[in-house]
Structure 1
């Protein structure tokens, strides 16, 4: 009943702030649970897929074996990009086709790597936004609630500590709600960031080695790197 009383007493700003915090909390927890499952599986599968690739006798056979290990498609796009560039023989009608095999491999692997990392980083912006804005949304609800509570009590005449403590205490709940929403989002953002960083390093190293392998099979000395 106390919560319902606080909700009925609050105006549109207070109610919108509370609903916004609720939406932030639900969205961030959905992302946290989903990314926790994804990160745990992706980290393990990336290591297994890279190991399976190097144990294969050829790139073509490795591409056939990878789907069994690479369930989230982290390594396979890199292999497909390298195979597409190595097997293509287009007419030099575009600037991209006029580049050397080394340049085309660098461009293709870089684009594929960016696509994979984009999927791994999906949801990070949401967690960062919730973690940075939720405390201020809660503070807004607190300040607005205290202002209206004091205004209402001032119009009622005599003010006592008993009459102030209840409404002000209810308003301060908004600050606690904002912190409750923000803290898990910030912690999850930092933890997932570390996992993404480790996986990114593994994929960048694999892309670099794959590029050198394709160039070596073509009899071309490697020059630039994937990150150049």
Structure 2
């Protein structure tokens, strides 16, 4: 009796619609679990690499040292890639000035756009795959419910044809039909939990990245200002003696 009401018997009772529902649930389950595992491992490694890079970044003596570290191949995380983009934009703006259309608004605006584009690209990357997980979490219960309703319909048809509505005749078909609901919930619950976890992680991750982008902009802007001030001071030291008539020629030559 137990064998006749087992899962294998349930599979043998499925028609084309039931098999389609079962295959769809299995596909959603495989896809969601694949994304859950791959994104979980990717997020774990990204956090480790980011912490290591930030420790090196704030321990560096200058932005030039950070830039040399990035060129050595340590840009394996979003923070390092954002720093690379910002430093490349600053160097490009210093080299070409306002000759390029992208830097027409000034160096500050150019670096701001580069940082914002980097943040947008990272936001797009971390959200990749969440649509599938969210779809599995929201649609799987309804797909399982549809399979249950379809199974109950066939059970009632069989009961009507046999003319026997006793409990032993109803329990088996209805119980087998309810397996679809259990399968739908088994697919949906992990997907919903994983989706909420990933959304929270992405929100915190992007907030940290946005704060780091602000720090990068301040460091680059202050560095450019200091370089400009140093250049103006050197220029004043050269020009001032030539413009001061109180200084003797011999003193000017010295």
**TM-score when normalising by structure 1:** 0.87
Deviations 1:42-80 (A, max 9, x none): 223222212211221222321333588957421122112
Q: How far apart, CA to CA, are the structure 2 residues paired with 1:108 and 1:211?
A: 10
Q: 2:148 aligned with 1:142, yes or no?
A: yes
Query: Once superposed, what is the RMSD of the aligned Cα atoms?
Result: 2.2
Structure 2 residue corresponding to 1:58, chosen from 56, 59, 62: 62
Aligned residues: 219
Question: Does the residue aligned with 2:215 lie in a helix, a strand or coil?
Answer: helix
1:1-228, aligned counterparts within 5 Å?
2-66=6-70, 72-88=76-92, 89=96, 92=99, 94=101, 96-219=102-225
Stretches of structure 2 lacking an aligned partner (at least 5 in a row): 227-254
Q: State the Cα distance separating 1:93 from its structure 2 match.
A: 5.5
Counterpart-to-counterpart distance in 2, 1:128 and 1:203: 24
TM-score normalised to structure 2 length: 0.79
Q: Which has the higher contact order (CA 8 A, sep 6+)?
A: 1
Q: CA deviation at 1:90?
A: 6.0
Number of the residue aligned with 1:224: none
The change in CA–CA distance for 1:67 and 1:39 in structure 2 (over 3 A counts) is farther
CA distance in 2, matches of 1:75, 1:49: 8
**Which of these two proteins has the greater Rg computed from alpha carbons?**
2
